[in-house]
Amino acid sequence: MELIQQNPELSAYLVADEVVDHKHPLVRETAARLRRDSRDAYAYAKAAFEFVRDTIPHSSDTGDVRVPWRASDVLAQRTGICCAKCHALVALLRAGSIPAAFCYQRLNVVHGLVALKLPGREEWARLDPRGNKPGIDAQFSLVKERLAFDIRQESNGMDYPVLYDVPHPAVLAALRAAPDSETLWTLYPAEL
């Protein structure tokens, strides 16, 4: 699948904003800690991915009812759905000067992914920081995608090819409006 930048300017995929608040002290501290043990951009990106995937549980797996949507809140609360975890990963990558984008799949609902573009690479690589559990084994890979879920055509699933510099408005609106996870799933988009 050919990935398409929604914004043609690569610099747009480094911007901080209200959601991707990579200038927030907690994001900066976390990024600095991850950078200390990383010898290059590849190692830093892998460490950031594994940190979000492994230390911030998916709220559906734990039954956590909180619905953070801002990257710093996801890091502080250590919970979030797939898209919120993507906000945290994009913030960490951008804090490390790595262009990072939001991208999505349609499963039963919209599922969030992250794409990154490492120095010296022509292609974007998609990653899935959702979190592993039995039956799900997402890994950091720039060569062959190792996402949490395979797209099943018989289930009307699909990969969306667009790389967004900001979270999709439908996803962000649901996250912002939901006071708890039960409400979130009534607001959350089934497709983009």
Q: How open is the CA angle 162-72-123, to the nearest 5 degrees?
A: 30
The bridge status of strand 110-116 relative to strand 162-163 is: unpaired
Q: In 8-163, where do the E strands start and end?
A: 100-106, 110-116, 125-127, 158-159, 162-163
Nearest-angstrom CA–CA distance, 106 and 189: 10
Token pair, residue 12, equals 């747009």
Whether 156 is covered by a domain: the verdict is: yes
Whether 33 is covered by a domain: the verdict is: yes
Which residues span the domain enclosing 64? 4-187
Whether 192 is covered by a domain: the verdict is: no
Q: What is the pLDDT of residues 175-190, one digit of tens each?
A: 999 999 999 999 999 9
Nearest-angstrom CA–CA distance, 162 and 126: 11
pTM: 0.97
Q: What is the pLDDT of residues 28-65, one digit of tens each?
A: 999 999 999 889 999 999 999 999 999 999 999 999 99
Whether 23 is covered by a domain: the verdict is: yes
Whether 50 is covered by a domain: the verdict is: yes
Q: Total structural domains in the chain?
A: 1
Whether 18 is covered by a domain: the verdict is: yes
CATH number at residue 164: 3.10.620.30
